Amino acid sequence: MNKFRSYYIYTTVVLISLIYIIRLFQIQVLDDKYLNMAERISLRRQTVYPQRGLIFDRNKNLIVYNEPVYDLMVSVPIRLKGIDTLAVCKLLEIDKKEFIKRLNKSKRSSYRGKSVFTKNVSNLIYARIQERLYEFKGFFFEIRQDRNYKYNSSAHVLGYLGEVNRSELDKQKEGYYEQGDFNGKKGVERFYEENLRGIKGEKYFYVDKFGVNKGSYKNGKLDKSATDGNNLILSIDIDLQQYGEQLLNNKMGSVVAIEPKTGEILALISSPFYNPANFNIQNRGKYYGKAIKDPTKPIFNRAVSAPYPPGSTFKPVMALIGLQDGAINANTHFGCPGYFKLGRRIIRCHGHTYNTSLTKSIESSCNTFYCNTFKSMMQLSKYENTEEAYNSWRTYLQSFGLGSKLGVDVSGEYRGWLKDASFYDRMHGKGRWNYARIISLSFGQGELGLTPVQMANIAASIANRGFYYTPHVVREIEGLENIPERYLTKNYTKISPLNYDPVIKGMQAVTRSGTGSGVAIKGINIGGKTGTVQNPHGKNHSAYMAFAPVEDPKIAIAVIVEESGYGATWAAPIAHLMIERYLMPDSVTESSRPYLEAKMKNSNLIPIKYRSQRDTSLYGN
Amino acid sequence: METRSRIDIVSLLLYLCIAILGIASVYSATSDQGLYTLLEGRSGKQLMWFGVSIFLGVIIFLLNANFFEVFSWYFYVGLMLLLVAVLFVGAEINGARSWIRIGSFSLQPAEFAKYGTAFAVSALLSSIGFSFSKKGDLIKMAVVILLPMVLIILQGDTGSALVFFSFILVFYREGLTPLILILGLVAILVFVLTLVFGTLYFGVGILLLFLVFFAFTYTNKKFLLPSISIVILAVLFSLSVQFLFNNVLQNHQRKRIEVTLNLIEDNKGAGYNVNQSKIAIGSGGFTGKGFLNGSHTKGDFIPEQETDFIFCTIGEEGGWLASSFTIFLFASFILRLYHLAARAKKKYKRIFIFSLASIIFFHLLINVGMTIGLMPVIGIPLPLVSYGGSSVLAFGIFIFTALRMDATRDEDLISTYE
């Protein structure tokens, strides 16, 4: 009997062993549920962020570089056993209640087993916690790259970074971005995002129950290293840019300077501006609200977004159209009695000699000459009616890039105002308007609005005698053969090169003996045109457009100073100081006219009503 | 006549294989990414205890083969005294007062109590005139087993106490009526069914079973009374199960049983260990993640991994190949020991070796069963593999004593076979 009993027991041992071996086969080999669970628990994927491309000015001065920001993360689910929460609170400068609140929030928003506990920890606190991090198991830092700036300058050109938002995440096709990533929101940061951002890498590793890295997955076979972004060389001359910013300090307005031969923007200033460092990831939260509240609109990029009637700076263009269209020729003279009579209306002119030639009309900014030119163009027999003549006039302007976006690589570009004929049809009735209704367009008033960059582009087109390259701030993308194609193609105006000569002569006269002569620069032959733009809301806007040297143009510039007065008083001096600064490297540190320079730098032309509402911390460091 | 005393090579090799497997597993479970060598830390200690075991094994082989039989009761009484002593001078670790500190070492008398009890059981059952039909002998037998169990439960180490149930296999083998075993299994079955389905459904079910049985046997009146009484007893036991479950068991024990029966899912609380353990083993796949490469092992997700849950490390890093090989090794070792028991000529030796094999079997059944979720969590080690000096040493000398007895079997007179 006992022998059988022994066999029963042996059989039991064998049976149990078999049951276990089969059960093991089931959970280890057949069922991959456990493998998936194990990887979910202990496998982590970490993105390796590339260094974002650096940004330099045209002379390879470093402008924008990367600076790490630290996010304090917790692994979820976190076990707080053995963590001195009081010490964590103390280091983070929060109380226990806040600590628990954040922890609960982290637990709710668990994102791939980790979640942000404190965003953008300051360097000081980072250093303090990092030292004791081993005590706080489950807490770790994630480092992301924020931007910092060598110069308190060029904020509107450079733009800024921000976290990718929901719709960007949803819309992206390649799936590059993850929640929490930064991308360029404005300026070149946005335009050249795909060049600057580089290629992300990734790392797979195991973590222990505290979320501490326990070594790579499959010896790093799946890991990919990151490829840094391309550096960007801008066409901006940081010295000229900063100089212009100093001149525009405490003024509302804009300067755009272009190299006519290439369309490269040398300086693009919108004032008031702000310190770009105040708008990086770490600081923007603090300053954005202030900037929004400021009535002088420091975020608004006047250089590309604000349409200003060009005023008298438009006259050279009007002269070019008149010449090209046959309304006038180089020898045309109009008599100016000091006004232009339009039925019972009178358009006043300035005091100058009666007999006005084309050159003289530019030099002395004669309204009558342009009213007459415009009138005769509108009445040319080759046009059936005013509408057709107007459309022809409009087409000339379009060939200068007006009425549509130029395609500048600066954020917020506006197309300006250039109405088509239907606008006047709606206003006055079809066929019921003639030149008299729109005569003010001839001297740059009325329904015409140019952004400063469009104005500068006109100066560049005149300097080039009939063509322009689309203005752009990118000069070179390192690692790429070329900048975008659209910045390398010539755009021709509909004016033949010969017609530019008399106009340029007139513009030269402006700076020799005309409205801009007060600020002429010895040794530089400048072609310019002042403008005083009527402003129904306050003082006139001061405007100026110029290029130099006339023989071999190296810079074309447009300046607008809002609510300040005559073109010759503010805009022209600022433009000339900048031209001098750019063309005469010898006087880089010292202007030939220190008095004028000081006057420009120190004048506060911000309307008094706004002054008290400005927050100066936005502009400084 | 010259008799040679020869150690059983097969058993010795299996012992060494399991020991090496144990040291490697403990090393993997405790060395943080291989920062320590095998000789440092817990694997080093484990190795040292195997060294001590073998040293004591040599001494055991130098002793006279009859030494143990003569001193059986002294061993038993001595160890019972130690179990009593530990209640007063023991150090408390993990809620159990089961350790005696000697210098820098801690000894766990409960691990040695199995060894001592095996002597007592062997001596008692092989004593002249012992019979399972004598009430007095049965009581003696019960006392020998229950005394260490009670003392160990008093220490707060229920798991180690349950191991003494493995002696029932020995008693069965030696002639105890199988009724006890059957009753025990039926009780477990009723217990489980009641917890899963509730007393009412269980009662209805057994009643239906009875009616079917009755339909076939109603002509034969002699089955009626016993079967009715069985039904009543089963229902009564089922009724008491709820009471026992809720009032006798401690909360964590209740939870562990409920988790095993899938009555509750509690992967963060009571079921945490088992769930993590299943994940670790299950993620091992066919060939495993490689030695020292277990992400769950390295990640410290399983508490008590180097002790009670050491099987996870084997399952995760060695995959199904290693885990089933481990079970194969143990099964071979147990069956080999049963073979040694069967070939013993002396009843005393047979019972002693058989006790050892049964105890190892019980450990294997419970320990591996709990890591793969087939058994409730009962904190007992996987012999020779789990980290723990007392366990390694106790099993070591237990095995060497058994092998010593086997080695001199030729000197023994052929005992009468019952």
Asked if B279 is an interface residue toward chain A (Cβ–Cβ < 8 A), one would say: yes
Asked if A1 is an interface residue toward chain B (Cβ–Cβ < 8 A), one would say: yes
Asked whether residue B262 is domain-assigned, the answer is no
Return all residues near B146 (Cβ < 8 A) that are at least 6 apart. none
Q: Please identify, among B230, B248, B266, the residue that sits at the C-terminal boundary of a domain.
A: B248
Give pLDDT tens digits for B56-111: 999 999 988 788 889 999 999 999 999 999 988 887 776 777 888 877 788 899 99
Is there a contact between B342 and A214 if contact means CB atoms under 8 Å apart? Answer: no
Residue of A nearest to B279 (CA): A34
Question: Do B98 and B221 have their domain in common?
Answer: no
- A450: phi then psi, degrees, rounded to nearest 5: -120, 135
SS3 of chain A: helix, strand, coil, percent, to 5 = 40, 20, 35
Helix axis angle, B347-371 to B109-126, nearest 10°: 140
Cis check for the bond before A77: say yes or no (omega within 30 of 0): yes
Work out the pLDDT band at A213, boundaries 50, 70, 90: confident
What confidence score (pLDDT) does residue B414 get?
Answer: 59
Alpha-carbon gap, residue A103 to A74, rounded angstroms? 8
Closest Cβ–Cβ partner in B174, B361, B374 for A23: B374
What confidence score (pLDDT) does residue A305 get?
Answer: 94
For residue A82, give how far its alpha carbon lies from the nearest alpha carbon of chain B (Å). Answer: 15
Alpha-carbon gap, residue B45 to B387, rounded angstroms? 9
Give pLDDT tens digits for A556-582: 999 999 999 888 899 999 999 999 999
Helix axis angle, B272-282 to B347-371, nearest 10°: 90
Asked if B284 is an interface residue toward chain A (Cβ–Cβ < 8 A), one would say: yes
Contact at 8 Å (CB) between A76 and A115? yes
Q: Name the residue among B121, B3, B60 with its Cα closest to residue B412.
A: B3
Q: Name the residue among A164, A181, A155 with its Cα closest to residue A411.
A: A155
SS3 A465: coil
Instruction: Quickly tell me which residue has 């002249």 as its tokens.
Output: B128
Give the E-state strand segments of A85-200 in sequence order: 114-121, 139-149, 161-163, 182-184
Contact at 8 Å (CB) between A249 and A570? no
Q: Check residues B22 and A72 and name the one with the higher pLDDT.
A: B22
B208 CB burial (10 A radius; 0-12, 13-18, 19+): exposed
Q: Name the residue among B162, B136, B231 with its Cα closest to residue B190.
A: B231
Alpha-carbon gap, residue A232 to A253, rounded angstroms? 27
Asked if A22 is an interface residue toward chain B (Cβ–Cβ < 8 A), one would say: no
Q: Which residues in chain A have Cβ-Cβ distances shorter than 8 Å to B369?
A: 20
Domain hosting B108: range is: 9-176+343-411
Contact at 8 Å (CB) between B359 and B114? yes
Asked whether residue B256 is domain-assigned, the answer is no
Is there a contact between B320 and A209 if contact means CB atoms under 8 Å apart? Answer: no
Question: Do B20 and B109 have their domain in common?
Answer: yes
Average pLDDT, integer, range A426-432: 86
For residue A1, give how far its alpha carbon lies from the nearest alpha carbon of chain B (Å). Answer: 8
Average pLDDT, integer, range B299-325: 91
Q: Name the residue among B354, A221, B263, B234 with its Cα closest to residue B254.
A: B263
Closest Cβ–Cβ partner in A21, A41, A214 for B279: A41
What confidence score (pLDDT) does residue A110 get?
Answer: 58
Percentage of chain A beyond pLDDT 70 is 96
Containing B59, the helix (H) or strand (E) segment is helix B41-62
Instruction: Tally A–B CB contacts below 8 A.
Output: 119
Question: Do B196 and B101 have their domain in common?
Answer: no
What confidence score (pLDDT) does residue B246 get?
Answer: 82
Residues forming beta bridges with residue A345, ordered by sequence position: A342
CA dihedral A427, A430, A436, A439 (to 10 degrees): 60
Helix axis angle, A386-398 to A367-378, nearest 10°: 120
Q: Name the residue among A221, A273, A206, A214 with its Cα closest to residue A244.
A: A273
Q: How many CB atoms lie within 10 A of CB A342?
A: 14
Asked whether residue B294 is domain-assigned, the answer is no
Asked whether residue B326 is domain-assigned, the answer is no
Question: Do B227 and B145 have their domain in common?
Answer: no
Is residue B35 over pLDDT 80?
no
Is there a contact between B338 and A9 if contact means CB atoms under 8 Å apart? Answer: yes
What confidence score (pLDDT) does residue A81 get?
Answer: 63
Contact at 8 Å (CB) between A378 and A389? yes
What confidence score (pLDDT) does residue A88 get?
Answer: 80
Q: What is the DSSP string of B360-389?
A: HHHHHHHHHHHHTTSS-------TTTSS-H
Work out the pLDDT band at A223, boundaries 50, 70, 90: confident
Asked whether residue B299 is domain-assigned, the answer is no
Q: Which residues in chain B have Cβ-Cβ distances shorter than 8 Å to A1?
A: 175
What confidence score (pLDDT) does residue A76 get?
Answer: 62
CA atoms lying within 13 Å on the CB side of residue A198: 20
Give pLDDT tens digits for A478-535: 999 889 999 999 999 999 999 999 999 999 999 888 888 888 888 889 999 999 998 8
Alpha-carbon gap, residue B27 to B148, rounded angstroms? 33
What confidence score (pLDDT) does residue A113 get?
Answer: 64
Q: Please identify, among B233, B248, B263, the residue that sits at the C-terminal boundary of a domain.
A: B248
- A522: phi then psi, degrees, rounded to nearest 5: -65, 130
For residue B366, give how far its alpha carbon lies from the nearest alpha carbon of chain A (Å). Answer: 11
Closest Cβ–Cβ partner in B169, B298, B338 for A206: B298
For residue A24, give how far its alpha carbon lies from the nearest alpha carbon of chain B (Å). Answer: 7
Question: Do B25 and B158 have their domain in common?
Answer: yes
What confidence score (pLDDT) does residue A308 get?
Answer: 94
Residue B299: both structure tokens together: 């990640």
Return all residues near A292 (Cβ < 8 A) that are at least 6 apart. A299
Of A14-23, A454-463, B190-199, B348-357, minimum mean pLDDT range: B190-199
Is there a contact between B338 and A10 if contact means CB atoms under 8 Å apart? Answer: yes
Is residue A2 over pLDDT 70?
no
Closest Cβ–Cβ partner in A16, A19, A42 for B299: A42
Work out the pLDDT band at B33, boundaries 50, 70, 90: low
Give pLDDT tens digits for A434-472: 888 888 899 999 899 999 999 999 999 999 999 999 999
B128 CB burial (10 A radius; 0-12, 13-18, 19+): exposed
Asked if B286 is an interface residue toward chain A (Cβ–Cβ < 8 A), one would say: yes
Contact at 8 Å (CB) between A462 and A263? no
Asked whether residue B170 is domain-assigned, the answer is yes
Question: Do B23 and B171 have their domain in common?
Answer: yes
Q: Name the residue among A415, A444, A447, A443 with its Cα closest to residue A433.
A: A447
What confidence score (pLDDT) does residue A302 get?
Answer: 95
What confidence score (pLDDT) does residue A40 get?
Answer: 81
DSSP tag of A227: B
Question: Do B160 and B241 have their domain in common?
Answer: no
Is there a contact between A28 and B334 if contact means CB atoms under 8 Å apart? Answer: no
What confidence score (pLDDT) does residue B337 get?
Answer: 96
Alpha-carbon gap, residue A585 to A486, rounded angstroms? 31
Is there a contact between A34 and B278 if contact means CB atoms under 8 Å apart? Answer: yes
Percentage of chain B beyond pLDDT 90 is 49
Q: Which residues in chain B have Cβ-Cβ distances shorter than 8 Å to A6?
A: 173, 338, 342
Q: Please identify, among B227, B248, B269, the residue that sits at the C-terminal boundary of a domain.
A: B248
Average pLDDT, integer, range A20-28: 94
What confidence score (pLDDT) does residue B120 get?
Answer: 96
Asked if A214 is an interface residue toward chain B (Cβ–Cβ < 8 A), one would say: yes
Return all residues near B122 (Cβ < 8 A) that are at least 6 apart. B69, B72, B348, B349, B351, B352, B355
Q: Name the residue among A503, A406, A512, A517 with its Cα closest to residue A456.
A: A406
**What are the CA-CA distances from residue A581 to residues A214, A240, A521, A585 (Å)?**
59, 7, 11, 6
Average pLDDT, integer, range A393-418: 94
Is there a contact between B175 and A2 if contact means CB atoms under 8 Å apart? Answer: yes
Across the beta sheet with A527-533, what order do the strands follow?
Answer: A264-271, A253-259, A555-561, A541-548, A527-533
Region of A225 please: left (phi>0), alpha (psi -120 to 50) or beta: beta
Residue B252: both structure tokens together: 């964590």
Question: Do B209 and B109 have their domain in common?
Answer: no
Contact at 8 Å (CB) between A5 and B172? yes
Is there a contact between B298 and A20 if contact means CB atoms under 8 Å apart? Answer: no
Question: Do B167 and B196 have their domain in common?
Answer: no
Report chain A's mean pLDDT, rounded to a whole number: 88
Question: Mutation test of the interface with chain A: which of B14, B31, B268, B320, choosing the one with the most A Cβ atoms within 10 A?
Answer: B320
Return all residues near B153 (Cβ < 8 A) that are at least 6 apart. B161
SS3 of chain B: helix, strand, coil, percent, to 5 = 70, 5, 25
Question: Do B243 and B378 have their domain in common?
Answer: no
Q: What does the buried/exposed string (b/e) look like for A347-377 if buried means 16 or more CB atoms within 10 Å of the residue's CB?
A: bebeebeeebbbbbbbbbbbbbbbbbbbbbb
Closest Cβ–Cβ partner in B278, B299, B334 for A207: B299
Report chain B's mean pLDDT, rounded to a whole number: 88
Work out the pLDDT band at B318, boundaries 50, 70, 90: very high
Asked whether residue B268 is domain-assigned, the answer is no
What confidence score (pLDDT) does residue B416 get?
Answer: 47
Question: Do B88 and B162 have their domain in common?
Answer: yes
Q: Which residues in chain A have Cβ-Cβ distances shorter than 8 Å to B334?
A: 13
Is residue B181 over pLDDT 80?
yes
Question: Do B160 and B49 have their domain in common?
Answer: yes
Give pLDDT tens digits for A248-300: 999 999 999 999 999 999 999 998 999 999 998 888 888 888 888 888 999 99
Question: Mutation test of the interface with chain B: which of A11, A27, A214, choosing the one with the most B Cβ atoms within 10 A?
Answer: A27
CA atoms lying within 13 Å on the CB side of residue A110: 11
Give chain B's largest Cα–Cα span: 77
Report the domain count for chain B: 2
Asked whether residue B200 is domain-assigned, the answer is yes
Work out the pLDDT band at B237, boundaries 50, 70, 90: confident
Region of A473 please: left (phi>0), alpha (psi -120 to 50) or beta: alpha
For residue B298, give how far its alpha carbon lies from the nearest alpha carbon of chain A (Å). Answer: 7
Contact at 8 Å (CB) between A607 and A563? yes
